[in-house]
């Protein structure tokens, strides 16, 4: 197994573990962090392909993805904060009002 294949396998594993965390954990903040883990797994595959391809375009794309991820977390955390203030808990099982 060469280096690229090893890193792509790690990327798959991180994405699957992040998805598992989002599905099975009950704490809203932990779910958010597991989503960050999924993003990191995808970014790892992007960096692997970018460094294998060479050139500058892949690295520029990774930089832009970082900025978008930072903006995403800047929106997601206030929403979680608001939910936690309103329902007095971080347990997503308590947010039944979203179920309709």
Partner 1 sequence: MMEALLLYLFVAGALAGALTMLVARHPMRVALALIATMLSLACLYAELGVHVIAVFQVLIYVGAVMVFMVFVIMLLDTRDASFVQRYSALLLPGVLVAVLLAGALGVLLAQHYVTPPHAAVTADFRLQSFSAAFLRDYWLHFELTSVLLLVAVIAAVAVIKGRGERDG
Footprint of partner 1 on 7-46 (CB under 8 A): 7-10, 12-21, 23-30, 32-34, 36-37, 40, 43-44
Number of residues that bind partner 1 (CB under 8 A): 71
Kindly report the length of the chain: 100
* H/E element, 83: helix 57-87
Span 70-89, contacts to partner 1 by CB under 8 A: 70-75, 77-82, 84, 89
Q: Are 87 and 95 in contact (CB under 8 A)?
A: yes
**Residue 55 sits in the site that holds partner 1 (CB under 8 A):** yes
């Amino acid at each position: 197994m060469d280096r690229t294949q090893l890193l792509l396998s790690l990327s798959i594993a991180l994405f699957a573990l992040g998805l598992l965390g989002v599905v099975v954990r009950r704490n809203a903040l932990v779910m958010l962090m597991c989503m960050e883990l999924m993003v990191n797994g995808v970014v790892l595959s992007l960096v692997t392909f970018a460094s294998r391809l060479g050139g500058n375009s892949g690295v520029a794309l990774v930089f832009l993805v970082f900025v978008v991820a930072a903006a995403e977390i800047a929106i997601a955390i206030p929403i979680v904060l608001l939910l936690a203030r309103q329902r007095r808990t971080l347990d997503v099982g308590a947010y039944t009002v979203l179920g309709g």
